[in-house]
Amino acid sequence: MAQAQAHPSQPATSLTRLALLAIAAAAATMALKFLAYFLTGSVGLLSDAVESTANLVAAMTALFAVWFAARPVDRTHNYGHEKVEFFAGGIEGFLIIAAAVSIAVVAIQRLRNPHELEGIGLGLVIAIIASAINFAVSRILVNAGRRYQSIALEADGRHLMTDVITSAGVVVGLILVRITGISWLDPVLALLIALNILWTGFSLIRMSVDGLMDKALPEEDVSALRQAIEAELEPGETYHALRTRRAGSRDFVDFHLLVPGELTVQRAHEVTHRLEAAVVSALPRAAVTVHVEPIEDPTAWDAAEIAPFEEDDPGTTLPHSSAYAPVGRR
C-alpha cells in the first residue's frame, strides 16, 4: 500500500491575521451598534448589537480553530488537526441560532410594549458605518476561506454577512419608522431578520456535520479525480473502491489499483507514484493512499469490498480494462 501525503500550502500566518481582522471588526461594530441602540432605543439596533456580540465570540473561536488546525501531524493525531475547523463552524452555527432566538424574544417583548424611538438619524449613520465594516471584512473572510478550504474562516465570514443583512433590515426599519411614525415596524422587521439568521445558522451546522461525518468530496472534484486517474492507466491496469473525504483544508483520497500479478514490486511502486501525482495534480491538497492488488486474484474483485461504493452489479465479471474500471458512482 502506497501513501502520498499532502503538503498543505495553507499560509497559517495569513489565516491567523485574517482571524484577528475578524475579531477587530466584530469588536468595533459591536461597540458602534450598542452606542446606536442607547441613542435610539431601537429594538432592531439592539438585535443587531446582540448579533455582533455573537460575531465577536465566533471570531475568537475561528482564531483558535485556524491556529490549532495548522499544527503538524503528531503521534496522537496521525491525520492532522484540520477537523477542528468543523467544530468551530458548528459552534458558530449554534451562536447564530442563539442570536436569532434572542433577537426574536426582544422583538416580541417590544411588540407587546411599544415605545417611540429617538435619535433615529444618528442611529442610521452609525448602523451604516458598522455595516460597511462588516461587509468588507465578510467578503475578505469568505474568499480566503474558500481559497484555503478553511471552514472556520468561511463560517466567520458568512456570520458577518448575516450581520450585514441584519443591519440593512434595521436601517430600512428605522427609515420606515421615521417616515410613517409606526413604531411597531421596528420589532416586526427584527422578527423577519431573526428568521433569516436562523437559516444561516442551520446551514453552517449542516456543513460542519457533513465534514465530521466524512462526506465525500463534491461530484465535480470526484469527476476530476477519475479523469486524472484514468488518463494515467495503461493496458492491463484498472482500479476500484475510490473513496474521498475532506478534513478542513486537506482532502483524503484512497482507491485500489489492480495490476497484472507478474508485475514487479518496483514496477508497481512506479505505477502508484504516477497515479498519486495525477491525483495531486487534480487536488493539490490531497493525501493519497493506493492499495495494490493482482488483477487475476478473484478476491481483488470481492463484491463485499466494492459494493458500498458502486452501482455496478456485484455479481458482474468486469473486464480487465481501464475503460470498464469500477470507479465508483458515475
Q: Report yes or no on 1 lying in a domain.
A: no
Q: Is pLDDT above 50 for 272?
A: yes
For residue 91, is it within any domain? yes
> Are 99 and 130 contained in the same domain?
yes
The boundaries of the domain holding residue 162 are: 8-212
Domain of 202: which CATH number? 1.20.1510.10
For 199-209, the pLDDT digits (tens) are: 878 888 888 88
Buried b (16+ CB within 10 A) or exposed e, 256-281: bbbbeeebeeeebeebbeebbebbbe
Q: What is the pLDDT of residues 103-116, one digit of tens each?
A: 888 888 878 887 77
Is a pLDDT exceeding 80 seen at residue 46? no
Q: What is the CATH number of the domain that holds 313?
A: 3.30.70.1350
How high is the pLDDT of residue 312? Answer: 44
Whether the CB-CB separation of 295 and 258 falls below 8 Å is answered with: yes
Check whether residue 147 and residue 197 sit in a common domain: yes
Out of 164, 179, 212, a domain closes at 212
Looking at per-residue pLDDT, the higher value among 305 and 51 belongs to 51
The answer to whether residues 160 and 255 belong to one domain is: no
Whether residue 49 is found in the same domain as residue 187: yes
pLDDT tens-place string over residues 166-192: 778 778 877 887 788 777 877 887 788
Please check whether residue 330 lies inside any domain of the structure: no
User: Is position 3 within any domain?
Assistant: no
Tell if the pTM clears 0.85, that is, is over it. no
Indicate if 208 and 223 belong to the same structural domain. Answer: no
Longest dimension (CA), the chain: 87
Higher model confidence: residue 35 or residue 55? Answer: 35
Amino acid 307: pLDDT: 44
- Ranges of H-type helices in the chain: 12-40, 43-69, 84-112, 120-147, 151-180, 185-212, 219-232, 265-282, 303-306
Q: Are 241 and 306 in contact (CB under 8 A)?
A: yes
Q: How far apart are CA 33 and CA 47, in angstroms?
A: 9
Choose one of 180, 197, 212: the last residue of a domain. Answer: 212
126 and 18 belong to one structural domain: yes
Residues 196 and 240 in one domain: no
149: left (phi over 0), alpha (psi -120 to 50) or beta: left
Tens-place pLDDT, residues 77-109: 877 777 787 887 788 788 878 878 888 888 888
- Does 320 map to a domain? yes
Total domain count, the chain? 2
329 assigned to some structural domain: no
Are residue 203 and residue 223 in the same domain, yes or no?
no
Bigger pLDDT: 180 vs 152? 180
Calculate the CA dihedral of residues 126, 129, 132, 137 and round it to 10 degrees. Answer: -100
Q: Assign 3-class secondary structure to 275-298.
A: HHHHHHHHCCCEEEEEEEEECCCH
* pLDDT beyond 70 at 320: no
Q: Of 154, 188, 212, which one is at a domain's C-terminal end? A: 212
Residues 225 and 143 in one domain: no
Is residue 214 scored above 60 in pLDDT? yes
